[in-house]
Structures are given as C-alpha cells and as structure tokens.
C-alpha cells in the first residue's frame, strides 16, 4: 500500500493568488501553507521511488545547460523514462491532477522553475490539468513515456524520439488522440527527425483525416503508413 499525496483545489487557488510565485525569479511556493491543503490516496498497485527520482533530477540540473533549448530538450528525453519508472502508478491515478500538483510544488519546485523559467506561462507547468497532458511538466514527462513505452520490447526508444522535438511532443500530448498509444508511437517513430514546420503540416493533414476515419480501429503500422504518405506529399509540394 502506497500513500499518494494530492493537492486540493484550495491549495491550487492558494498558488494562483500568490503575489510572486512562480513569476518572479527565485520566488518559492508557500510550502508550509500548502501542507495544510493535501489529501491522500492509498493505492495498492503503486510505488514512488523518490530516492532515485531525486538523484536523477539533481543530476540533470547539473549536467544539462538549461539556458539552451536543445539542452532542455535533451534533458526531457533523458528524464521521461526515469519519471515513468520511478512514479509507478496506474493510469487512473496518474489522471488525478492533484498528484502532479503536489509533486511539482512540494517536491520539485526548483526543478520546474529552472526548466521553464524562459517560458511565458510557468504557472501551468505547476498547475496544468489532465485536460492538457502537455501542461504540468512532470505529468508531461510521465504521460509521454506511458504512451510510447514498448511493453513487448521493454524499452523507451519511441519515448526518446518523441521528446527529441518539442513541436512533436507538443502535438502528440495536446492532440485529440493523446491517450491512444498506437498513434503516439507512430508519430514518434515516423516524424522524430522532421523539421518543426513539416511536423505542423503533417499533423494538420492527419487531423483533417480523422473526420472520416475511426482512429481506434487502426494499428500503429496503418497510422505510420498514412503518415509516410502525408509526409511525401508535404515534401513534394513544398
């Protein structure tokens, strides 16, 4: 039995009304006050390895230069599988926004702020909901790995490819099919080396096709085949 901490709505409101955090540099969340706005879930089939996760986060903040976009992307690619392994919870628990809010605000606020300090809306990286899997940073890493982990091969090859391009991971986690694993893996495997411009064009055409085809009835290979055809068309038409 593992105890999962959940930040309540009142705790979220407390952060939203904070005078400086997280917008002002070096500001901190109201940790002591937030401790009074937690509830817990007792989950049998879950474990969270904070020792390993702490080590990975601290190491990443030392090794990667967070002032450079490519280094931040590389860090995400490196950390996503580790976050997924360390936060070993079923999807129904991972779908609870308050768990990610607790982890971001009370466990890893410095990490989140450092990673997204150059972003226009840092607050959503702490308080983003599951409606948008891309918003909360730790949820973003976990769900990206969850959707692209190869269970049969026991590897995260597609996960690394997904996080190789910010435009790609943005699209996959923001899209209407964001919880359909075959589509997420197909995009990661097929488009990981495309330019951001091409990813946008291909994704737009793929989205248009969903009005006439049922996505859930199609396999990963069928989706990859369609992406290949769309990519060829985009490249040939400029």
Q: What is the pLDDT of residues 117-161, one digit of tens each?
A: 877 678 889 988 766 666 899 999 999 999 999 988 889 999 999
Per-residue confidence band for 209, with pLDDT thresholds at 50, 70 and 90: confident
Give the model's pLDDT for residue 120. Answer: 67
Angle at Cα 219 formed by Cα 215 and Cα 224, nearest 5°?
Answer: 90
Give the model's pLDDT for residue 198. Answer: 92
| Lowest mean pLDDT across 52-61, 62-71, 187-196, 201-210 | 201-210
Sort 64 into a burial class: Cβ within 10 Å, 0-12 / 13-18 / 19+.
Answer: buried
Give the model's pLDDT for residue 122. Answer: 85
Angle at Cα 66 formed by Cα 63 and Cα 69, nearest 5°?
Answer: 120
Residue in this structure with the two tokens 């291909």, named with its chain if needed: 202
3-state helix, strand, coil in the chain (%, to 5): 60, 10, 30
The 10s digit of each residue's pLDDT in 40-58 is 999 998 999 999 999 999 9
Contacts of 2 (CB under 8 A, 6+ apart): 42, 43, 44, 46, 47, 48
Residue in this structure with the two tokens 């490196």, named with its chain if needed: 78
Give the model's pLDDT for residue 185. Answer: 93
Q: What is the mean pLDDT of the chain?
A: 90
Give the model's pLDDT for residue 138. Answer: 95
Give the model's pLDDT for residue 94. Answer: 93
Q: Which of 85, 86, 78, 48 is nearest to 61 (CA)?
A: 78
**CB of 171 closer than 8 Å to CB of 187:** yes
pTM above 0.85, yes or no: yes
> In DSSP terms, which residues pair with 42 in a beta bridge?
3
The 10s digit of each residue's pLDDT in 78-96 is 999 999 999 999 999 999 9
Q: How far apart are the first and last CA of the chain?
A: 56
Average pLDDT over residues 227-232: 92
């Amino acid at each position: 039995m593992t105890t999962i901490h959940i930040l309540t709505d009142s705790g979220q409101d407390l952060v939203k009304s904070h005078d400086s955090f997280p917008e002002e540099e070096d500001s901190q969340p109201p940790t002591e006050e937030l401790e009074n706005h937690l509830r817990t879930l007792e989950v049998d089939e879950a474990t969270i390895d904070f020792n390993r996760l702490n080590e990975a986060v601290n190491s990443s903040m030392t090794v990667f230069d967070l002032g450079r976009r490519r280094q931040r992307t590389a860090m995400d690619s490196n950390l996503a599988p580790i976050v997924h392994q360390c936060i070993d919870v079923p999807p129904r628990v991972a779908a609870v926004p308050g768990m990610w809010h607790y982890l971001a605000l009370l466990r890893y606020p410095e990490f989140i702020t450092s990673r997204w300090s150059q972003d226009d809306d840092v607050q959503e990286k702490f308080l983003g909901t599951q409606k948008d899997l891309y918003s909360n940073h730790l949820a973003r890493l976990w769900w990206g790995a969850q959707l692209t982990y190869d269970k049969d091969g026991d590897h995260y090859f597609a996960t690394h490819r997904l996080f190789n391009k910010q435009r790609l991971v943005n699209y996959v986690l923001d899209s209407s099919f964001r919880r359909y694993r075959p589509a997420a893996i197909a995009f990661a495997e097929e488009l990981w080396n495309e330019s951001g411009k091409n990813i946008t064009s291909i994704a737009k055409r793929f989205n248009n096709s969903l009005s006439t085809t049922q996505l859930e009835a199609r396999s990963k290979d069928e989706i990859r085949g369609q992406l290949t055809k769309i990519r060829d068309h985009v490249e040939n038409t400029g």
